[in-house]
Amino acid sequence: MVYMKATIEFDDVLYRRLKSEAALRGRSMKDLVAEGVRQMLAQSLLAPLDVPPAAAPLAWLGVLNKYATNSAGPHDLSAIRRSIVRARSKRSP
């Protein structure tokens, strides 16, 4: 799992309450905030966090299709690279 850092600003009263609650539970503030966000997102109308998005090809790879005429598949990058080199060599004087 990859973790991302974020800066969150709380008003003084909320910050002290969060810090006290975390101490009473024997947990870090970071864990308490993450748990609260997870609970809020679990009630969201969007897809749950546990369900990974459907595997879809990367959109930017679609622009490489014109170079992939001799490739074994849509993601055969070595064939795409060879095709790009061939196309560039045809344009060179």
Query: Is this model's pTM higher than 0.85 or not?
Result: no
Which pLDDT band holds residue 26 (cuts at 50, 70, 90)? very high
SS3 33: helix
Q: Which residues contact 70 (CB under 8 A, 6 or more apart)?
A: 79, 82, 83
34-68 pLDDT per residue, tens: 999 888 888 877 766 555 555 555 555 555 555 55
Q: Which residue has the higher pLDDT, 5 or 67?
A: 5
